[in-house]
Structure 1
Amino acid sequence: MLRSLYSGVSGMRGFQTKLDVIGNNIANVNTIGFKGSRVMFKDILSQTVSGVSAPDDTRGGVNAQQVGLGVSTASIDTVHTAGSAMTTNVVTDLRLNGDGFFAVGTADQVDTAYLTRAGNFTLDANRNLVNADGLHVMGADNAGPITIPDNVVSFSISQNGEIIGVDSAGVVAPTGQVIGVVKVTNPSGLEKLGGNLYRMTSNANADTAITTVAPGNAETGVGTLVSGQLEMSNVDLTGEFTEMIVAQRGFQANSRIITTSDEVLQEVVNLKH
């Protein structure tokens, strides 16, 4: 059979994957803290028709003749650029200005907490700071879940993650609670779990155990907190629609390769007549 048939099939599969990723990006254009993905391609092994010959005293060298065998998906990368800020003026809405992730999980999940950039947090009935799925927000230095003390009438959150409380007498003082942030060496190596959550992997960090630090820590390089704001999706609709057109045309071109190859094969079959 013609090599071009299989090359066309591999191209259609690759562009279908690209369209799937683009569709997911566009679907999450308004998802808090969402990070878009991109598809990168690589060529498949080439078949060598004739090999290389080196030059000698009487004759020059000859290059190899190779025919490519199609394309495959090299990687599907998560692009961790910052999303735009949306002001909500809600104290418990937090945006990370810089590198790092919030750590969320169950009360006994301090060292294996999930990571997220979505800072739309609220207080539950026990005054625990939780996300939309009820997972606890972890404190700095692996201190466990953040809980606002009962004697606090109101509170604010500083850029360094420190929760400042105001009691019934109007006294302003730190509550001793500091929101934790996790620094990840290779954010693209994190595993997406859905629900705006990531899981630490061995390719994201050398140490897969979660270590939370205070925001704005210059030594660890984590960003600062901005209370009353949320980080929006980093998906650029203009770029996504442009890539969609490219993927669509690529898919059509590869389907035309298959059609043309089929017509050539039909001519070969008709030779017997």
Structure 2
Amino acid sequence: MLRSMYSGVSGMKGFQTKLDVIGNNIANVNTTGFKSSRVMFKDILSQTSSGASAPDATTTAGQNAKQVGLGVSVSSIDTLHLPGSAMTTNNPTDLRINGDGFFLVKMNDAQEVPYLTRAGDFHVDANRNLVTSDGFFVGDAGGDPITLADNVTSFSISQDGTIVQQLDDGTVDNGTQIGIARVTNPEGLEKIGGSLYRTTVNSNIDALEPGVANSEGRGAIIAGQLEMSNVDLTGEFTEMIVAQRGFQANSRIITTSDEVLQEVVNLKR
């Protein structure tokens, strides 16, 4: 009975975590470049009351082990790096990566390892720097900040990230390219807020490969579009119902075990 209570508690904790993740997914259903998460469970080590025995050729049949499970725990919380839907904005500084890769952004020049993002809602600040909504510098193929020319009458961005700048003297400057980084294990990246990711030892920091778009497995850059959240509301609401019912069922296990224990206590009266 005590084992059933502890199993119920572990189930409630697990489904509470699942509800937390689902709630965060639903809250970010309209967040640019957001990648949804999911919770995976695993059973806890079972208590064995008797082990398995081998059959005897003449007298005894084989017997299976007798085990009682001790509950559930969270095995992983995965980030699903699946592409989100495209939203056309026709804004020249709104960029979408059509394929694999991440934009490189830095807080300042002193930051050695850039942050990564799939949110391409960029802007041009007063110093003509290409920046994120939070003021982080967007990097080129080498990770250095991108600055537009002061005498640009117009500019466009091609699929390989080349910024084609039309200067006021009639010449064209196309010497700057927006950088795209490949990551060995995107699920190993750490979310740090602001639609940013930070590399970790499991995403393989040493294998962070900045380069140009539309080359060596990196996706193409589509200007005038944004990648929206990949959250599937239908699936999230379904999983929310499952988590809610699972939480209720596990709470019922606890109350039932408590009632049985109460009956045992009452036997002494």
Deviation of 1:150 after TM superposition, in Å, equals: 1.3
Aligned to 1:51: 51
Choose which of 246, 261, 268 in structure 2 pairs with 1:265. 261
Distance 2:14 2:190 in 1: 22
Distance 1:187 1:118 in 2: 15
Distance 2:89 2:62 in 1: 69
Q: Which amino acid aligns with 1:189?
A: G
Deviations 1:114-171 (A, max 9, x none): 00000000000010000011100000133x1011111211100000000001122444
Tell me, what secondary structure is at the counterpart of 1:213?
strand
1:135-214 mapped onto 2 (5 Å cutoff): 135-142=136-143, 144-171=144-171, 173-205=172-204, 207=206, 210-214=208-212
Q: Which 5+ residue runs of structure 1 have no aligned equivalent?
A: none
Deviation of 1:57 after TM superposition, in Å, equals: 1.7
Aligned residues: 268
Deviation of 1:79 after TM superposition, in Å, equals: 0.4
Q: How does the TM-score come out when normalised to structure 1?
A: 0.95
Query: What root-mean-square deviation, in Å, do the aligned CA atoms of Structure 1 and Structure 2 show?
Result: 1.2
Deviation of 1:110 after TM superposition, in Å, equals: 5.8
Residue 13, structure 1, aligned to residue 13, structure 2: yes
Q: Which amino acid aligns with 2:206?
A: D
Aligned to 2:214: 216
Deviation of 1:206 after TM superposition, in Å, equals: 5.3
Mapped contact 1:154–1:167 kept (Cα < 8 A): yes
**Greater CA drift, 54-63 or 240-249:** 54-63
Q: Which 5+ residue runs of structure 2 have no aligned equivalent?
A: none
Aligned to 1:131: 132
Choose which of 231, 238, 241 in structure 1 pairs with 2:234. 238
Distance 1:78 1:109 in 2: 29
Distance 2:209 2:114 in 1: 9
Distance 1:154 1:205 in 2: 39
Distance 1:43 1:22 in 2: 21
Tell me, what secondary structure is at the counterpart of 1:164?
strand
Q: How does the TM-score come out when normalised to structure 2?
A: 0.97
Distance 2:204 2:241 in 1: 36
Distance 1:120 1:159 in 2: 16
Distance 1:109 1:72 in 2: 41
Aligned to 1:32: 32
**Identical columns (%):** 69
Distance 1:80 1:243 in 2: 19
Tell me, what secondary structure is at the counterpart of 2:212?
coil
Q: List, as ranges, runs of 4+ consecutive aligned residues in structure 1 with deviation greater than 6 Å.
A: none
